[in-house]
Amino acid sequence: MIKLKRTVAEMVASARERIEEIETPELIEMVGDPDVVIVDIRDIRERQRTGFIPGSFHAPRGMIEFWVDPESPYHKNVFGQEGKRYVLHCASGWRSALTAATLQDMGFEAAHLKEGFSNWAEQGGPVEKPEPRD
């Protein structure tokens, strides 16, 4: 077995020490707030299978740094809005913690949903289901 310098659990713990974590009830209260942009970084298949937070913007984990960077040819305007509060989420809070830390390193402030979408659904957060595909 290959011995890693750092495990993913260690990386997540390190990220969580320096980013803002939002608890599920707090984010439930923010749904619909025009000053908050909830960003779903899960794979599209996860969104299709389990649904998504109403009004959330989908930015796949593999593209978000490119979409945030205004100098990137892939930049998305949703990430160029002044005065918005960005909250990332994934399924369990690990990917979003790493992503929030990476974006912070880039100079882009974003919090993340501490326990992820799974906890969101368990606590009764609103979930929108995608239209069935033919």
Query: For 6-55, what is each residue's pLDDT tens digit?
Result: 999 999 999 999 999 999 999 999 999 999 999 999 999 999 999 999 99
In the chain, what percentage of residues exceed pLDDT 70?
Answer: 98
Q: How far apart are CA 64 and CA 95, in angstroms?
A: 12
Which pLDDT score is estimated for 134?
A: 60
In the chain, what percentage of residues exceed pLDDT 90?
Answer: 96
Residue 10 one-letter amino acid: E
Q: How far apart are CA 54 and CA 43, in angstroms?
A: 16
Q: How far apart are CA 47 and CA 12, in angstroms?
A: 22
Q: How far apart are CA 67 and CA 71, in angstroms?
A: 9
Query: For 90-102, what is each residue's pLDDT tens digit?
Result: 999 999 999 999 9
Q: Residue 22: which H helix or E strand, with range? A: strand 21-22
Cβ distance 120 to 92 under 8 Å? no
pTM: 0.94
131 contact partners, CB below 8 Å, separation of at least 6: none
Structure confidence at residue 130 as a pLDDT band (50, 70, 90): confident
Mean pLDDT throughout 105-113? Answer: 98
pLDDT at 131 over 90: no
Which pLDDT score is estimated for 133?
A: 66
Beta bridge partners of 22: 113
All structural domains of the chain, each given as residue ranges with its CATH number in brackets, are: 11-122 (3.40.250.10)
Query: For 70-91, what is each residue's pLDDT tens digit?
Result: 999 999 999 999 999 999 999 9
Which pLDDT score is estimated for 20?
A: 98
